A and B are shown apart, each in its own frame.
Chain A
Amino acid sequence: MTELEIPVEKWSGAVRLVTLGATGDGGTRTSTVTVGGEAALPFLHFEGQIPNAPVVAAEVVDMHPADWSPALLEALGDDTRDPAAWARKMVGLGADLISLKLRSTHPDQGDRSAADAVATVKSVLAAVGVPLIVYGPGVVDKDNEVLVAVAEATKGERIALANCEEKNYRTIVAAALGNGHLVVAQTPIDVNLAKQLNILISDMGLSLDRILMDPNTGALGYGIEYTYSVMERLRLAALMGDGMTQQPMLCTVGEETWRQKESRVAEGVPAAWGDLVDRAVVWETTTALTVLQSGADIVSLRHPKSIALVKQTIAALMKGA
């Protein structure tokens, strides 16, 4: 009989190490989080080193998100009215990072000022010891205003500023450069666009160990297959040694899945969909697992139960590391 020899890929590259948060030199975190370093495809421990387990970021919004799914609001309770309390609760549930959304600074959502945003970020920094990812409202001008103010007021904290996109990367990168922060480079589901943005950002002088990339997650049932394949291609390229694809990947799983009808609607949907809360948690966690298996280093989530389940899942997948 033919000899059985397990095929092991010999990779020449690895994912870059990126550390979020700082405990000194302006950093006030009680611990930092390092992601990346994989020298093998996701969780294939027989093939190469996977020094850092992927981590879970919990999403926290700076205003009560009244439009969120009732299944989610019920699980989160009153803490959604205070971002510091909300963040503390999520860390208590096991979140490794807090992903803070400065939604109330959006012109249509209250248009709160950059100074207000700074106060919110500081209150969350004071409430928890884990590192932060901070999102502007997603409108270019306001993003620039808010994120620059936040970056300056939190110098040295190694916060990941998000999103850093093609249309605003100059301002965000400059804010990160001058204040010791990181950026989340987001591009729309495309290998070359992701590479291109990493190049533009590093050309400005931000070192590659301060860039995370968000390939733009699609939810289960809503384009996850595109994300999945783009992430697999990015990770394969990274392992083959393409330096501009070696940034750790971040996926905003909670934000995507909880937007969908499957996670929001209990009435008037087929009985074959099952119970809303059960289904929504499965929707969020299976989406998370799918992107983790295609290379995600950070997944951000919303439901408390999902955080616990995904942490447990990552631990199970790291068995044998």
Chain B
Amino acid sequence: MALTGLEIYKLLPKTNCKECGFPTCLAFAMKLAQKGTELANCPYVDEEAKAALDAASAPPIRLVAIGGGERRFEVGNETVLFRHEKTFFHPPGLVVRLRDDDPALAEQATRIDAYEVERVGIKIMLDGIAVDNVSGDAATFAKAVATVKGVSALPLVLISDDPAAVEAALAVAGGDRPLICAATTDTWQKMAELAKGAGCPLVIRADDLESLAALAHDVQGLGVEDIVLDPGTRDLAGNLAVFTQLRRLALKKNFRPLGFPIIAFAGAATREEQALLAASAVAKYAGVIVLDELDPSVIYPLMTLRQNVYTDPQKPIQMEPKLYPVGAVTDKSPIFVTTNFSLTYFTVSGEIEASGVPVWLVVADGDGLSVLTSWAAGKFDAEKIAKTVTSYGMADKVSHRKLVLPGYVAALSGEVEEELPGWQVIVGPREAVDIPSFLKTVWKAD
């Protein structure tokens, strides 16, 4: 929790030497509390005060980086319990678990590495591969990790309760900051030494929060700071309750020993149960989610949910309002009008592309809202549509005088025709999914 100016002042030398650039230590402290200057500007602050201030300014949930290189991802550093209070910052890493005795390991890892999907113009990929030491054999584990590393640069999670197996795997992949999973009350010392030695983040696992906090304290004592928590729950009710408790302890109580991101395991008997366990963890507080298989019909909905939940509520994703030609447009191409909510834009332009018919897509400034919402809010009316069509110079770009309006604002047809003399309004489909059939059956330039 951030310190107040007065609390910071108590830790300063109180000599008013002015070398920091401020007239008094108190003024400097006040500015520090507002994050308007840095502690390093005080040449006389002692080590003890520095440590206290550093600790106080540390985020309540530590930011932990997993993996090295380009595909590394960061989790933690969340500041709220509910996204409407501000926003969630670091989307949970979605990781797929592979068995170290899987004969098709390289092939599986290649598929995970290659999985990619686009949604609202954003490319989404999986974040990592977990290799599970189900064989119980250190050499098999190390070999499996080497195989996966050979085909993918994705961050790794090394799942084994056996320090010897982890040590063997680290000999292969230790330089890539894999997430070691996990240290328990039995193995923490050895696991912490391995994590410290390789500079890797470490999962700690215990079945109750007191033991988990004690474990965090212990591994920190051995110099491991990048910790990920596994409170041992594996069911919906348990995850929801305990992940919420962990988030609250960190944010509301500033409880340092458990101020770390959480790892969730979504392994389940069926595809759907796995999806539901993971979905619950996306919305409620996981930092890393381990899935048991690469099933696109599960992964794609989860990635969509993650994107939705981690959208900043203050800033819905918007497109720049302007003319977007979709395909090789000519003066005969139809003109479609829509709003600048990014989901609307991408859904509409995606369907136009799929239809194969080039279209002039006129994106009006609907305040970043969907067609229906911006219309209801008075941001997308006949006047706005007419002005937009005129300002984009559509009359010079096409030889026809036809305008396709979204079906949801069919009621505006008459008014738009009044605002744009000489133009004819055609009511398009309500849902973008019906655009291709509309272009094939209804649309005619002349």
Contacts and interface: CB of A to CB of B under 8 A. Distances in A.
Given A7-B252, A272-B296, A319-B237, A265 B433 contact: yes
Contacts of A293: 240, 280, 283-284
B83 interface: yes
Which of B214, B249, B279, B311: most chain A Cβ within 10 A?
B279
Interface residues of A, number: 57
Closest 10 CB pairs of A and B: A274-B297, A274-B296, A278-B297, A272-B117, A279-B297, A229-B84, A319-B237, A225-B308, A286-B279, A7-B248
Contact of A5 (B119, B217, B237, B253): B253
Nearest to B116: A272
20 contacts: A1-B257, A7-B248, A43-B236, A43-B237, A221-B301, A221-B304, A222-B343, A225-B308, A225-B311, A232-B84, A259-B431, A271-B296, A272-B116, A279-B296, A285-B275, A286-B279, A289-B280, A293-B284, A317-B237, A319-B235
A210 B343 CA distance: 37
A261 B116 CA distance: 19
Contacts of A283: 301
A224 B305 contact: yes
Contact of B241 (A43, A282, A309): A43
A228 interface: yes
A289 B276 contact: yes
A46 interface: yes
A6 interface: yes
B271 A223 contact: no
B418 interface: no
A238 B206 CA distance: 35
A68 to B, nearest CB: 13
Interface string A222-240: 1111001100110010000
Given A272-B115, A286-B302, A289-B279, A188 B376 contact: yes
Contact of B300 (A272, A285, A309): A272
A281 B119 CA distance: 19
A266 to B, nearest CB: 11
Contacts of B373: 188
Nearest to B279: A286
Contact of B305 (A5, A7, A220, A313): A220
Interface string A261-278: 110110010111111001
Contacts of B309: 225, 228
Contacts of B45: none
B213 interface: yes
Contacts of B272: 281-282, 285, 305, 309
A106 interface: no
Interface in B200-258: 209-210, 213-214, 217, 235-238, 240-241, 244-245, 248-249, 252-253, 255-258
Given A4-B209, A43-B241, A220 B255 contact: no
A318 interface: yes
Given A46-B241, A220-B304, A220-B305, 13 more contacts: A4-B213, A4-B255, A42-B240, A225-B311, A228-B283, A229-B313, A233-B82, A261-B347, A262-B300, A272-B300, A282-B297, A285-B275, A312-B273
A2 interface: yes
A1 B255 CA distance: 10
Nearest to B312: A225
A41 B82 CA distance: 12
Contacts of A260: 433
B319 interface: no
B236 A316 contact: yes
B297 A316 contact: no
A2 B276 contact: no
A309 B305 CA distance: 18
Contacts of A268: 354
Contact of B295 (A270, A274, A316): A274
A320 B245 CA distance: 15
